[in-house]
């Protein structure tokens, strides 16, 4: 090896690149610049003497040596973080919470209140992201718990509530009889695309995808400009300038669920589930 030292910060960046599928998303999760994450990985490559990752399309693929170091990095970080929790008295601990963008302004206040009541000595760090990415992060253990939306609506047994999917567009948007429907949607991966295409098939009308966005704010911008309409879950209220397309039928139900990483305190998970359920029902969250 060119160096016998593997520092914690670069190892944490390496794990984030693996968990997030690339440097850009890893930088956002770590609250670092993308160049800082790249420098961390290069530092590890210098220490080990071999490349850790290689580019593959929009993402990255770990080399054999990179995968080997990644396994060590996870164990090192787990031991390091456990030691910090045990030995450093009074340190504020952080719970990583993921939340779908849909209805976050309605659901999040109840959830953060429930978390503060159960974990008064912890801080909460919230990440808004796509449902697929949130679920993957919880599954890997890089996020503690997440509130996610399943557009298929199939897993109702484990859901905290159901949400109606409805066609929305700019206020005053008019459909032209006989013309193709102008559709805006999220880019892949997205749990709402399949129910959208299913609803369009049921309608039996021609359609055209006129715009795609990776996030809700971009989709709303396209809708407000009059580009077309989108199938979205209706949670709480719609933003200014957006309204249901009354001439379009409502589609299927989506489900809202709370998922927690392995080892999470079940009481915390239950408290968040109850808070999300009560927020959906319009009732205030119970204070334990």
* Residue-wise pLDDT tens digits, 53-85: 988 777 789 999 999 999 999 999 889 888 877
Of 23, 54, 87, which closes a domain?
Answer: 87
> Phi and psi for 235 in degrees, rounded to 5?
-125, 115
3-state secondary structure string across 135-153: HHHHHHCCCCEEEEEECCC
* Structural domain ending residue among the three candidates 47, 66, 87: 87
Residue that wins the pLDDT comparison between 132 and 158: 132
219 assigned to some structural domain: yes
Task: Note whether 139 and 249 are same-domain residues.
Answer: yes
Higher pLDDT, 90 or 203: 203
Average pLDDT rounded to a whole number, residues 83-90: 70
Predicted pLDDT of residue 124: 87
62 and 120 co-located in one domain: no
For residue 25, what is the domain's CATH number? 1.10.10.10
- What is the model's pLDDT at position 210? 95
C-alpha 143/C-alpha 80 separation (Å) is 17
**Residue 285 domain-assigned (yes or no):** yes
Cα–Cα distance for residue pair 146/258, rounded to 1 Å: 6
Mean pLDDT for 122-136 is: 87
How far apart are the C-alpha atoms of 185 and 228, rounded to whole Å? 10
- Report the pLDDT value the prediction gives residue 122, as an integer from 0 to 100: 80
Q: Is residue 2 part of a domain?
A: no
Q: What is the pLDDT of residues 145-164, one digit of tens each?
A: 999 988 655 555 568 888 88
Name the DSSP letter for residue 91. Answer: P
Asked whether residue 45 falls in the same domain as residue 120, the answer is no
**pLDDT for residue 152:** 57
Distance CA 108, CA 100 (A): 10
196 neighbors 224 (Cβ within 8 angstroms): no
> Is residue 109 domain-resident?
yes
Q: What is the mean pLDDT of residues 125-149?
A: 87
CATH of the domain at 228: 3.40.190.290
* 225 found inside a domain: yes
| 37, pLDDT greater than 50 | yes
122 within some domain? yes
183 sits in which H/E element: strand 181-186
Cβ proximity of 118 and 268 under 8 Å? yes
Same domain, 117 and 144: yes
What's the pLDDT score for residue 29?
A: 75
Q: Are residues 39 and 106 in the same domain?
A: no
Question: Is residue 3 assigned to a domain?
Answer: no
Range of the domain at 17: 8-87
Overall number of domains in the chain? 2
Based on the fold, state whether residues 166 and 223 are members of the same structural domain.
Answer: yes
Q: What is the mean pLDDT of residues 248-272?
A: 84
CB–CB of 138/100 below 8 Å? Answer: no
- Contacts of 48-56 with C-beta under 8 Å, sequence gap 24+, read 48/1, 48/2, 49/1, 49/2, 52/14, 53/17
Last-in-domain residue among 54, 87, 120: 87
Instruction: Answer whether residue 230 shows pLDDT above 50.
Output: yes
Please check the confidence at residue 172 and state whether its pLDDT lies above 80.
yes
């Amino acid at each position: 090896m060119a160096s016998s030292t593997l520092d914690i910060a670069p190892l944490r960046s390496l794990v984030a690149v693996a968990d997030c599928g690339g440097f850009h998303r890893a930088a956002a999760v770590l609250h670092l610049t993308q160049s800082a994450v790249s420098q961390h990985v290069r530092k590890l490559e210098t220490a080990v003497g071999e490349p850790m990752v290689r580019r593959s399309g929009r993402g990255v693929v770990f080399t054999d040596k990179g995968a080997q170091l990644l396994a060590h990095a996870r164990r090192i970080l787990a031991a390091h973080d456990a030691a910090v929790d045990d030995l450093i008295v009074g340190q504020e601990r952080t719970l990583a919470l993921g939340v779908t963008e849909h209805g976050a302004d309605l659901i999040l206040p109840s959830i953060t209140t429930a978390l503060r009541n159960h974990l008064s000595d912890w801080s909460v760090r919230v990440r808004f992201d796509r449902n697929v990415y949130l679920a993957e992060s919880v599954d890997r253990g890089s996020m503690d718990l997440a509130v996610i939306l399943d557009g298929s609506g199939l897993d109702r047994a484990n859901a905290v509530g159901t949400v109606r999917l409805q066609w929305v567009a700019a206020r005053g948007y008019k459909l032209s009889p006989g013309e193709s429907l102008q559709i805006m949607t999220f880019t892949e991966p997205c749990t709402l695309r399949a129910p959208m295409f299913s609803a369009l098939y049921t309608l039996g009308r021609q359609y055209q995808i006129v715009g795609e966005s990776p996030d809700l704010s971009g989709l709303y911008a396209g809708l407000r400009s009059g580009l077309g309409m989108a199938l979205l879950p209706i949670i709480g209220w719609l933003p200014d300038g957006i309204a249901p397309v009354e001439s379009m039928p409502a589609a299927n139900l989506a489900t809202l669920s709370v998922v927690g990483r392995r080892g999470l305190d079940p009481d915390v998970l239950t408290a968040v589930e109850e808070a999300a359920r009560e927020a959906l029902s319009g009732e205030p969250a119970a204070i334990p």
